[in-house]
Amino acid sequence: MAKAQATKEAKAAAKAARKKASRERRTQLWQAFKMQRKDDKLLLPLMIGSLVGIIAVAVLIGLLTGALVFLLPLGILLGLLVAFVIFGRRVQKSVFAKAEGQAGAAGWALDNLRGSWRVKQAVTGNAHLDAVHRVIGKPGVILVGEGSASRLRTLLAQEKKKIARVVGDTPIYDVIVGNDEGQVPLKKLERHLNKLPKNINGKRMDALESRLAALGGRSGPGMPKGPMPAGAKMKNVQRSMRRR
């Protein structure tokens, strides 16, 4: 009896937790929508236009085929879905635009990758806030640099040489995030990584992660965990890093 009561209470607690999480997600979405609407004057016209357009097409086809009762609800659902996708993509575009060029932006983007990527931020860096992040995925090992390209080349070469000793024949790629020739823009970083060839499986990824964790490495000094505000005082940041 007591066990059944405990199970019932656990289910009730889990249900309450799900409801709370759902409310929090809705609140976050609404806040994101309000913020985006202030900066993006095209957001509402695009969302409303897509919703109305898809519903109109559904009604037209429904009238012509005699299936309006079926197609109208489908058109409304599809219109809402497309409007939500437009909202999500414009929010993402806005976030990346604000983050681009700020120290820590690439590390933040890597931490938000979708999929089975293993990210280690700032495995090496310097007092100028140039940093190299390490990513393990199905392509192999990817070193992602952010900062000054001229200084990053040395950091990338050193890190590549160090990890090559322990990863065997696993491919090692290097990427510099930026907008110059040969670099990958921040907003296209995830797409670039996903386009790399798949060379290893999950079991090999686990083994590589263990080996590289044992290898250790110096973290980039004071590298922020997210994009640093544009007004941050670099001299003060560098002074605090040297104290570490």
Token pair belonging to 199: 């060379």
Are 153 and 182 in contact by the 8 Å Cβ rule? The answer is: no
Lowest-pLDDT range, 71-75, 169-173, 190-194, 214-218? Answer: 214-218
**Letter for the amino acid at 168?**
G
- Residue 161 — very low, low, confident or very high, per pLDDT cuts 50/70/90? very high
Q: Higher pLDDT residue, 226 or 148?
A: 148
Give the bridge partners for 70, in sequence order: none
Tens digits of per-residue pLDDT, 212-231? 887 765 444 445 555 544 44
With a cut of 50, say whether residue 234 has pLDDT above it.
no
The string of DSSP letters for 176-243 reads EESSSTT-B-GGGHHHHHHHS-----HHHHHHHHHHHHHH--PPPTT--SSPPPTT--HHHHHHHHHH
Collect all residues with Cβ–Cβ distance below 8 Å to 124 and sequence separation of at least 6: 131, 132, 155, 158, 159, 217, 218, 219, 220
- Work out the end-to-end distance of the chain between its first and last CA atoms, rounded to an integer number of angstroms: 58
Work out the average pLDDT over 171-175. 95
